[in-house]
Amino acid sequence: MGVIFLIEIEEVMKLAIEHQAKRVSNESEYLFGRGELAQNLTNIFINTSGGFVLAIDASWGEGKTSFIHQLIRNLECTHNLIPIYYDAFANDFASDTFLSIGATIAIEVEKNFEAKGKSLTTQKQIEHLKSVTKSTAVELVKLGANLGLKALTAGVIQSSDLEKLAGKAFQSATFGTLELDLNEKFKAYQDAKSNIESYILALESVCESGEKVVFFIDELDRCRPNFAVEVLEKVKHLFPAKNIIFVVSYNKAQLSKIISSVYGVEPEDSLKYLEKFIHIEAKLPSIDSTFQSYKVLFESFMSEFEIAVSLGDHEFSRLEEMFVSLCHTNCLAMNSREIERAFSYISFCSAALPESKRAELFEYFLPAAMIKVKNNKLFNQVSSGEFNSLPNDSTTKWMYDFFKRYYSQSLKNKASNIYFVQGFKDACEIVSMFKFPTDEEKKI
- For 130, 137, 208, 241, 252, the CA distances from 124, given in Å and listed in that order, are 10, 20, 12, 19, 40
| pLDDT for res 342 | 92
| pLDDT for res 17 | 53
Share the mean pLDDT of the chain: 78
| pLDDT for res 149 | 34
More confident of the two residues 416 and 183: 416
More confident of the two residues 140 and 392: 392
Calculate mean pLDDT across residues 170-196. Answer: 57
Q: What is the DSSP letter of 177?
A: T
| pLDDT for res 154 | 40
| pLDDT for res 207 | 73
Q: How would residue 397 be classed by pLDDT, with cut points 50, 70 and 90?
A: confident
More confident of the two residues 197 and 410: 410
| pLDDT for res 364 | 93
382 pLDDT above the threshold of 50? yes
Q: Is beta strand 310-311 parallel, antiparallel or unpaired with respect to 5-6?
A: antiparallel
Amino acid symbol at 72: I
Report the alpha-carbon distance of residue 323 to residue 62 in Å, rounded. Answer: 17
299-329 burial, b for 16+ CB within 10 Å, e for fewer? ebbbebbebbbbbeeeebeebbbbbbbbbbe
Range with the poorest average pLDDT among 45-59, 106-120, 151-165, 241-255: 151-165
Q: What confidence tens digit (pLDDT) does each residue in 289-308 have?
A: 556 778 888 888 887 777 76
Report the alpha-carbon distance of residue 141 to residue 161 in Å, rounded. Answer: 13
Torsion angle defined by CA atoms of residues 282, 287, 291 and 292, in that order, rounded to the nearest 10 degrees: 40
284 pLDDT above the threshold of 50? yes
| pLDDT for res 95 | 75
CATH architecture of 33-283: 3-Layer(aba) Sandwich (3.40)
- For 82, 298, 400, 402, 439, the CA distances from 322, given in Å and listed in that order, are 42, 10, 14, 8, 23
Share of residues in the chain with pLDDT > 70 (%): 73
Q: Which residues pair with 56 in a beta bridge?
A: 249, 282
Residue 383: which of 425, 414, 433 has the closest Cα?
425
Report the alpha-carbon distance of residue 114 to residue 120 in Å, rounded. Answer: 11
Q: Is beta strand 386-388 parallel, antiparallel or unpaired with respect to 52-57?
A: unpaired
Q: What confidence tens digit (pLDDT) does each residue in 124-159 have?
A: 776 767 767 766 666 666 655 433 333 333 444 444
